[in-house]
Structures are given as C-alpha cells and as structure tokens.
Structure 1
Amino acid sequence: MNVIIINGPMGVGKTTVGKYIADHHPGTAFIDGDWCLDLHPFVGNQETKVMAVDNILHMIGNYKNCSVCRMIVLVWLMDEKWVCQRIIDGICSLHLEPVSVTLLCGEEQLIQRWRVDKTCEWRTDQWLEISLKSLPHFSKLENCMDTSYLSISETAERIVQHSFHTGKEKTS
C-alpha cells in the first residue's frame, strides 16, 4: 500500500489536491496533519510536532489494518527535515511505501490561491508573507512539482501516477 505524502508551503493546494485524490480513488484514506496538531492557541514547537508525528503514524497504522483502505494520502506542511524523516521512517517501519511530493507554485499563483480561499482561518496577510518567504526553502526539497499552471485534477493525477510508478519500481 502506498502512502502519498504531500508537502509544501501554506496555500499551495495540499489539502485541495489531497482531498481530490481521496474523492476520486475509492479506498483512499485522507489525513490532514493539521488535525493531529490542533491546539488552541496553536503551538508549533518540538514537543507538539513530535506528538503530531506520533498521531499521524498511529492513524496510518490503523488505516493499514483496515480491509477497505487501499491508499493513504497525508497532507501537511513539513518545513523541518527531521519531521519528514520521522514520518518516512515510521511509514517504512509499518512496511508501507512512502511516496513524497512537494507542491510549489509561483508567487503570483500563491497570492491568487490565497485570496480565493475564504474558508481557512490562516489566510491572513501576515501568514501570506510567511508563506511567500518559505517558497525558496520548499523549492530545495526533493520531488518538487510546480503546480503554477496545473489544475487540481492534473496535479492529483500526476501525483497518483508517480505513486503507482514508484511503487512498481520498488517491488520489481
């Protein structure tokens, strides 16, 4: 079973693409990493991130044992290498295949996507500036996909195709 990990800056479309994949591929479990770190007020320190990673891996393990689950999609902003590595190592220890992709887009596209999203409480000008400043960091990560001119469905299907291709290469 593949676990697709979708990373990237705030507002790039991780959640939208992850939900699209889950909605269009029966048997797909959708995990938003933010659910696993939903403290009020928000605290994003070492302790809470360790807790969130543990929560994520626990959910993935439960989905692995579910007979109707065929694929898992995890979306989360992972801007620290140790967080990504712990999740990947944990997925591997569950004998599942992690397939990671980092979504990117240009500054203008990020601003446009940000302004259109009226449902997320984080869509403030302050957080937009933080997200824009994070683009260079995310562009240095492995398996980047520029989604600037891709639709949600195009992005989702490229990720799914990459995941099936990667899974076949690992098992051959």
Structure 2
Amino acid sequence: MKKLVIINGTMGVGKSTIVSNLYKQLENSVWLDGDWCWLMNPWNITEENKTMVMNNIHYILNQYLENSMFEYIFFTWVIHRESIFDEIVAGINRHDYKIVKITLTCSEEELIHRMQQDRRSEKEIENSLNRLGFYKTMNTQKLNTDGKDVGETVKALLKMIADER
C-alpha cells in the first residue's frame, strides 16, 4: 500500500535537510515541499493565495498518489495547526494509501543554533520559536532531533515509516 508521509515541524527544525536525504533511501519515492507552492515575490498571504496554494498541494499530491510508480510520497511543510492536516487530507481523492504523520522537533537552543548557522534573520528565529510549542499536542508521531546528525535522523524515520502498517 502506498504511504503518504507528511513531515512537519517549525521553520528551521531540519525538514528539508532530512527529507532531501530520506527520500533517496527508498525506491519509488518522491519528495514534495509545501513551501515550493509559496515561492512568490512578493510573498503575500491572502485568502486567494492560501486557496490557490492548497489547491496546488491537493493537485500535486493526487497526481503522485495516482502514479503507479510511486510507493512513498514525502510531503514536508511547516503545518503548525491540526486543521491544516485535515485540509490536506480532505483534498485527496484516493483512499487506498496509508498516511504517516511525523513531527520533527528539537530544543529551543538547538533551533536557535541551526537557524543561526543557516543565517536566518532574528525575526525568522523569533517566529519559529513562537511556533515551537504548537507541535507538542499535534496528532503525530514525534521525533526529537537534538544531538542527531542527518544519518541518524534518517535511520530513525525509516524505522518509523516501516513500523506503520
């Protein structure tokens, strides 16, 4: 059965770094990032743009779920509210897939360190820290990445995905 693996977490936690390595470890997989649908200049959060972005995410996910080649569809995005998960799943046309929801977490200190290494602005760091608490109560499996390198984190995620039947 196909698996739609949604990996979320606050900005700077390492979603892109980890999943850019993770999807290469599983044959017949693809990685999609919700941020790609927001790459616009100027970045303008309007109701029209939010609707367009979600419609594009639904379209892209449905296309990959329909494609017989892919067994694993990895989707990364900040997703800081349970309602966003619900909205994503509501737009999927298929029912013959398993959804795996995993939140990457880390300590405040680790998050600050990573974001400073990435040369993120103080405002971006502050925004990310303010959202960190939102993820604690979400209906997802949690993976704390403190003290883990990319390889260790990928290995842990592979186990979590394999354990989902």
Question: Would you say same fold, with TM above 0.5?
Answer: yes
Q: Tell me the alpha carbon deviations over residues 111-132 of structure 1, each in whole angstroms, 9 at most, x when there is no partner.
A: 11112225xxxx2111101111
Residue of structure 2 in register with 1:65 after alignment: 66
Q: Which runs of 4+ in 1 moved over 6 A?
A: none
| Alpha-carbon distance between aligned partners in 2 of 1:150 and 1:89, rounded to the nearest angstrom | 34
Identity %: 29
Residue of structure 1 in register with 2:144 after alignment: 146
Count of residues in correspondence between the two structures: 162
1:131 equivalent in alignment to 2:128: yes
Matched position secondary structure for 2:75: strand
Q: Tell me the alpha carbon deviations over residues 36-57 of structure 1, each in whole angstroms, 9 at most, x when there is no partner.
A: 1222111234432332222112
TM-score, normalised by the number of residues in structure 2: 0.88
Where do 5+ consecutive residues of structure 1 fail to align?
none
Residue of structure 2 in register with 1:158 after alignment: 156
Displacement after TM superposition at 1:88 (Å): 2.5
Are the equivalent residues in 2 in contact too, given 1:19–1:30 (CA < 8 A)?
yes
- Which letter maps to 2:72? M
Residue of structure 1 in register with 2:55 after alignment: 54
Matched position secondary structure for 1:12: coil
Are the equivalent residues in 1 in contact too, given 2:81–2:134 (CA < 8 A)?
no
Are the equivalent residues in 2 in contact too, given 1:105–1:147 (CA < 8 A)?
yes
Q: Tell me the alpha carbon deviations over residues 128-154 of structure 1, each in whole angstroms, 9 at most, x when there is no partner.
A: 011111111122223222111222222
| Alpha-carbon distance between aligned partners in 1 of 2:138 and 2:46, rounded to the nearest angstrom | 21
| Alpha-carbon distance between aligned partners in 2 of 1:83 and 1:9, rounded to the nearest angstrom | 14
TM-score, normalised by the number of residues in structure 1: 0.85
Q: Tell me the alpha carbon deviations over residues 85-110 of structure 1, each in whole angstroms, 9 at most, x when there is no partner.
A: 1112334x422221101111001111
Matched position secondary structure for 2:31: strand
| Alpha-carbon distance between aligned partners in 2 of 1:89 and 1:157, rounded to the nearest angstrom | 30
- Which letter maps to 1:3? L
The CA RMSD measured in Å over matched residues stands at 1.7
Are the equivalent residues in 1 in contact too, given 2:58–2:91 (CA < 8 A)?
yes
Where do 5+ consecutive residues of structure 2 fail to align?
none
- Which letter maps to 1:136? G
